[in-house]
Amino acid sequence: MAEYVIETPKGKWEMVCGLEIHCQIISKSKIFSGASTEFGDDANVNVSFVDAGMPGMLPVLNKECVRQAVKTGMGLNAKINKYSVFSRKNYFYPDTPQNYQITQFEYPLVGEGEVFIDLKDGSTRRIGIERIHIEQDAAKSIHDLNPKKSYIDLNRAGVGLMEIVTKPDFRSPEEVGEFLKKLRSIVRYLGTCDGNMDEGSMRCDASVSVRPAGSSELRARAEVKNVNSVKFAMQAVEFEAKRQVELYEAGETMQQQTRHFDQTTGGTKFLRLKEFSDDYRYFPEPDLPPLVLDDEFIEQVRSEMVELPDAKKARFVKDMGLTAYDAAVLCENKETADFFEKAAKGRDAKKVANWIMGDFFAMLNAKRLPLEKSPVTPEMLGQLVDLITSNVINGKTAKDVFAIMAETGENPEKIVEEKGWKQVTDTGAIESLIDKILAANPDNVAAYKAGKVNLMGWFVGQVMKESKGTANPAMVNQILKQKLG
C-alpha cells in the first residue's frame, strides 16, 4: 500500500481521520411526522406541528425510514441491532425548533460493518464502520436573502437521516475520496439515499488528527463540518492535517475543536471548541419506546437486497471476461451497469464495454446528457456491435454509423441500409477493385515486387478509398497479398 506521509524538514507525520456522513433517507414522509420530504418546494410548506416543535405534539416513527437504514446497514456488511433506543440531544439553535434533536446515542440501530475501497496503486483497503444511527434533520437557516435578517425554512426539519460513522481508519485524502464515492455508489444502488452531496442530501464531517509517522498515539482532533463534495472532503482533510503539523512543529498544542471548510480558499477556519457528549445532556427520548425489530422484518428487508457494486464487479470479471478496471468503471453506478448488461446480452462483452467506455461515454459528455436521456439505447448499441461482428460493416464505418445514431436516434441497420454502407465482402467485387488499382499503378507494383513491401499499406488505402470505405479490410489485405505474390 502506498503510504501517505507528510514530510517536512523537521520530520515525518501521518494523518488519522474518521468520517461521519449524514445521509438523507429516501422516504415519502419525514421520520417522525407525515409531512412530505419533497426537495425544492416553497419554503415552509412541508411542515407538521411535530416538525415545528409545537407543545404537546408527539413523534410517530416512520417504519420506512427504519427499513431503509437497516437495508443500508446490510449494504455495509454491518450488524443489525434488534434493540435500539432513541435519545434526546439537547441544544439550542434557531434551526432546531424543538430545542433538541431526536437521535440515537448508546444503542444505535446498526453496529459495526465494513467497506472495501480500491486505490490508484491497485491495492484494496478495508474501512471499518463503527455504527449507523437514525435521527431527524435540522431546518435550514437562510442568511443570504437579507443583509439584516436570517430566515428559516422548516421543510427540512424532521427529514430522516442516517448518520454513518466510520472507524478512524483513513490515512490519506485519496482514501477519504474513494470511500465517499463508494458509499455514494452503495446507497444509490440500494435506493436508500440519493447521494447528491451538492444538494446536501449527503454531508460529510471529517475528524482529523496527525501523529509522528509510525506512532500509534491519538492526538486531539479537529472536526471539519459539512463538506459538500468529494473533492472538497479530500482538500479539507489534506489542508487540516498539514495545518496541524505546522502547529506542532512550531511547538504549539491543539485542543479538540470544530472547524469550517472554506471552499473558496480550500482551507479550514476555527468555529468553536468541540462539544463533548456531556454538553448535550443526552437522555432516553420519553416520547418514543425503544425500537425492537423482529426476525421477520429483518428477513423481509434482506430479501429486498440488490446486487451491490462489489458483487456486480466480480461477476463482470468472472462471467463476462472484463478486466477489473473496465468492470469497476461500468459498476460505479447501477444505471451504467444495467445499460451494459442489456447491450452485452448474448454478445462479446469486451467489445460492448469498449463501445460504452469509448464513443458512447464521449457522446454523453459532449452532449452533457445523463445516461437515461441517451438517444442510443442498449439494444441499438448491441445491434451496432452485431453488424461489426457479422462483417456487415467495418469498425471505421461503425463509428460513422454511431455518430448518426447519436444525432437521429435511428436504428443502426436502417442507417447502414439507407447510406449504402454495407461492407463489400464479395470476393469477385473486391478482386475487380484491386485489379483496377494495380493496373493504374504499374510503378508501385514493380517497386513492391522489387522488395518495397511497406507499399502494402498504400495499396490497401487506395482500394479502401476506391470502395468508399465499404470494402472489408481483412479481405482486401488477403487478396492483395495473393495478387502481388
Binding characters for Mn ion, 161-200, by CB under 5 A (x = yes): --x-------------------------------------
Distance CA 160, CA 102 (A): 10
Minimum distance, C-beta of residue 184 to Mn ion, in the bound complex (Å): 18
Q: For 298, phi and psi rounded to 5 degrees?
A: -65, -40
CB 309 within 8 A of CB 182: yes
Compare residues 20 and 413 and give the one whose CB is closer to Mn ion.
20
CB 461 within 8 A of CB 412: no
Q: How many residues bind Mn ion (CB under 5 A)?
A: 1
Compare residues 163 and 240 and give the one whose CB is closer to Mn ion.
163
Residue nearest to Mn ion (CB): 163
Minimum distance, C-beta of residue 135 to Mn ion, in the bound complex (Å): 5
CB 393 within 8 A of CB 421: yes
Compare residues 163 and 178 and give the one whose CB is closer to Mn ion.
163
Distance CA 285, CA 50 (A): 14
> Which positions ≥6 away from 364 have C-beta within 8 Å?
370, 371, 374
Minimum distance, C-beta of residue 101 to Mn ion, in the bound complex (Å): 7
DSSP letters, 245-284, are: HHHHHTT-----EEEEEETTTTEEEEEEEPPPGGGGT-EE
Which helix (H) or strand (E) is 133 found in, with range?
Answer: strand 124-136
Compare residues 163 and 175 and give the one whose CB is closer to Mn ion.
163
The grid coordinates of residue 117 equal 475501497
Binding characters for Mn ion, 350-389, by CB under 5 A (x = yes): ----------------------------------------
For the chain, the farthest-separated pair of C-alpha atoms sits apart, in whole angstroms, at 102
| Residues between 233 and 252 that touch Mn ion (CB under 5 A) | none
Compare residues 132 and 406 and give the one whose CB is closer to Mn ion.
132
Minimum distance, C-beta of residue 250 to Mn ion, in the bound complex (Å): 34
Compare residues 62 and 101 and give the one whose CB is closer to Mn ion.
101
| Residues between 78 and 107 that touch Mn ion (CB under 5 A) | none
| Residues between 144 and 163 that touch Mn ion (CB under 5 A) | 163
Compare residues 18 and 378 and give the one whose CB is closer to Mn ion.
18
Minimum distance, C-beta of residue 104 to Mn ion, in the bound complex (Å): 10
Distance CA 416, CA 404 (A): 10
Minimum distance, C-beta of residue 103 to Mn ion, in the bound complex (Å): 6
Minimum distance, C-beta of residue 142 to Mn ion, in the bound complex (Å): 21
Q: Does 310 bind Mn ion (CB under 5 A)?
A: no
Distance (Å) of CA 108 to CA 17, 18, 271, 291, 299: 22, 18, 28, 10, 19
Residues that bind Mn ion (CB under 5 A): 163
